[in-house]
Chain A
């Protein structure tokens, strides 16, 4: 949607620092084991491959359902079909969580209604503040 798709230089791999961070988070429980750089790079490639695999499978599924947009549901089905049914519950959970967060955001965004003032009142308030600021400045 809002992202500039295939914009010039940005690479289609995952940010190394992020991957490294996640890896060390995963390994935080097992003290002392680290990931070599080569392994991390391979891991990144594997991750990209994983995304590609999932998304193309999901794309196929969505096409079969005559949908133009790949939805969460398709990802879930793709995971199921590709031998990762274990991931499904967590994925659903994450999606639901995200939905909740979105809802919260929408509520927050609606400041106008929360203020309880009419547009005229707000405008007047703004003008007052402008005037006050100008007076202070001069």
Chain B
């Protein structure tokens, strides 16, 4: 334990890892060799190695997960993360924050990096290159990170890591125990560090002496480890059990992470959408679809597909406008914000008409009084409904009118 505390600050080779970060993953088989390389090359004692090794590994895991989760991420990215993804340097941290709990295992590495940076970037650079290439090996990283959730508790805290002969094989476990616990005390903690690490990554390259802020918790962790491991078990079981919960935590954590990212790197704030469990009534969706008289039969699954698309659409619209509200330190998303969001993206230009119409009323309503505007909006929608409800032709014409005015993007009327 004491060794743990002392070594953490000294560990040298983490800087190298960062340079490695961007490089694509090489052969996974090399990971063990990689570690050997490490031990040979590093002039410091074992503790250094371990620290560095664990830290180097986790990025691999992160990278892998980024790849592995790509499909899922895609889904989520669409609504939430466009901003984030736009900025290339942040993608890693973003990826971490998206998949909530696998990333928890990546939380510590950032700490390690900081150390490395501060220490001696030049000495390690030679080693780091080969290592960097080999360590991202997805095959290896994957089991390690997966284990982090399920197996962290059973392992005695980090003892494995200290035994030199085992280092290669036990590295994962060590990392697991180490990484699992930060998640427990503060579930939202890891994304923060991830984000910070990310930020640091961008900075630290030129400035190797950047301060290693997050390493302290790690070195001081040991006493808490047992409890942490137990909590990790509970968390892991929960997380594994329900995707929804992961989503929720992802939402929580990434929102906080994005805040720090924004604060540190000046990125835009992002709001993570929570999981949507409520479904739209399919019958209603179908009716709305068929309000257009040109729309004939609709397959049974179609309203469900449309409902899902609608859900994604709403998530995108709501999260963006919530981001805007947050940027303005507002607790409430107003119709104006919604309008701005719609107008900001040409993807939604079919809504500009609706939004503009409402917004104008809002403005006039503002002159007269706040309350009237909402009434007007409601009246507007009501009249639409009435027109549509009167009959087929009424509904269809209502729909057409809107569409035509909305931009006429695709309808050849």
Q: Is B146 an interface residue (CB 8 A)?
A: no
Establish whether residues A35 and B305, one from each chain, have CB atoms under 8 Å apart when the complex forms. no
Distance to closest chain A CB from B239 (angstroms)? 16
B338 to A39, Cβ gap below 8 A? yes
- 29 examples of A-B residue contacts, CB within 8 angstroms: A3-B286, A12-B389, A14-B284, A18-B278, A22-B278, A22-B314, A26-B322, A27-B322, A29-B248, A29-B251, A36-B332, A41-B335, A41-B374, A41-B377, A43-B318, A49-B351, A51-B289, A52-B292, A55-B290, A55-B292, A69-B297, A69-B298, A69-B299, A70-B296, A72-B305, A74-B302, A84-B309, A95-B304, A98-B304
Q: A33-B271, A44-B381 are in contact. Are A98 and B251 (CB under 8 A)?
A: no
User: Known contacts being A56-B294, A86-B74, is A12 close to B395, with CB within 8 Å?
Assistant: yes
**Nearest-CB distance from B201 to chain A (Å)?**
25
Name the A residues within 8 Å of B347 (CB-CB). 83-84
In angstroms, Cα B327 to Cα A129, docked, is: 69
Q: Does A34 contact B (CB under 8 A)?
A: yes
User: Restricting to A60-76, which residues have a CB under 8 Å from any CB of B?
Assistant: 60, 68-72, 74-76
A11 at the interface (CB under 8 A from B): yes
Among A12, A28, A49, A90, the one with the most B-chain Cβ atoms within 10 Å of its Cβ is A12
Assuming A29-B274, A47-B313, A60-B410, is B306 touching A34 (CB within 8 A)?
no
Q: Which residues of B contact A53 (CB under 8 A)?
A: 350, 403, 406, 409-410
Chain A residues contacting B307 (CB-CB under 8 Å) are 94
Q: Report if A9 contacts B (CB, 8 A).
A: yes
The answer to whether B302 and A41 have CB atoms under 8 Å apart is no
The 3 closest A-B pairs by CB, nearest first: A29-B251, A86-B78, A11-B385
A5 and B290 in contact (CB under 8 A), knowing A28-B248, A46-B317? yes
> A38–B334 contact, CB under 8 A?
yes
Bound complex: CA A38 to CA B77 (Å):
27
For the complex, count residues of B whose C-beta is within 8 A of A: 101
Question: Chain A's nearest CB lies how many Å from the CB of B44?
Answer: 42
Q: How large is the interface on A (under 10, 10 to 19, 20 to 34, 35 or more residues)?
A: 35 or more
Closest A residue to B315 by CB, please name it: A26
Q: Which of A68-127 contact B (CB under 8 A)?
A: 68-72, 74-76, 79, 81-84, 86-87, 89-95, 98-99, 102
> Which residues from chain B contact A130 at a C-beta distance below 8 Å?
none
Contact residues in A for B322 (Cβ distance below 8 Å): 26-27, 30, 33
> Which residues of chain A have C-beta atoms less than 8 A from B411's C-beta?
56, 60
CB-CB under 8 A from B399, the residues of chain A are 52, 56
Q: Given known contacts A51-B288, A56-B292, is B388 in contact with A75 (CB within 8 Å)?
A: no
CB contacts (< 8 Å) of A31 on chain B: these are 255
By the criterion CB–CB under 8 Å, are A81 and B410 in contact? yes
Cross-chain contact of A36 among B271, B273, B289, B334 (Cβ < 8 A)? B334
* A38-B334, A59-B294, A84-B347 known; A94 vs B317 contact (CB < 8 Å): no
| Cβ–Cβ < 8 Å partners of A5 in chain B | 287, 290
Q: What chain B residues lie within 8 Å of A28 (beta carbons)?
A: 248, 251, 274
Nearest B residue to A33 via CB reads B322
Q: Which chain B residues in 266-304 approach chain A with CB under 8 Å? A: 271-278, 280-281, 283-292, 294-302, 304
Contact for A42 among B314, B355, B392, CB less than 8 A: B355
B402 x A75 contact (CB < 8 A): no
> Mask for A1-34, Cβ within 8 A of B = 1, else 0?
1010110111111110011011101111111111
Q: Does B319 contact A (CB under 8 A)?
A: yes
Known: A34-B332, A42-B377, A82-B350. 8 other contacts (CB 8 A): A5-B287, A45-B380, A50-B310, A52-B403, A56-B294, A70-B302, A95-B308, A102-B300
**B410–A34 touching, CB < 8 Å:** no
| Distance A1 CA – B297 CA, assembled complex (angstroms) | 8
B312, CB-defined interface residue at 8 Å: yes
Q: Using Cβ atoms and an 8 Å threshold, which residues of chain B touch A27?
A: 271, 274, 318-319, 322
Cα A60 to Cα B321 in complex, Å, equals 31
- Report whether A59 and B313 are in contact in the complex, using a CB–CB cutoff of 8 Å: no
Q: Is the CB of B273 within 8 A of A29?
A: yes
Binary interface encoding of chain B residues 210-221 relative to chain A, with 1 for a CB under 8 A from any of its CBs, else 0: 000000000000
Chain A CB within 8 A of B378 CB: yes
Residues of B within 8 A of A83 (CB): 346-347
Closest CB in chain A relative to B344 CB, distance in Å: 14
Q: Which residues of chain A are near B294, meaning CB under 8 Å?
A: 56, 59
Write the nearest CB–CB distance from B297 to chain A, whole angstroms: 4
- Measured between C-beta atoms, what is the minimum distance from B320 to chain A in Å? 11
Closest to B71 in A: A89
A41/B296 in contact, CB under 8 A: no
User: Given contacts A22-B314, A51-B310, are A82 and B410 in contact (CB under 8 A)?
Assistant: yes
The chain B residue with its CB closest to the CB of A57 is B410
The reply to whether the CB of B125 lies closer than 8 angstroms to some CB of chain A is no
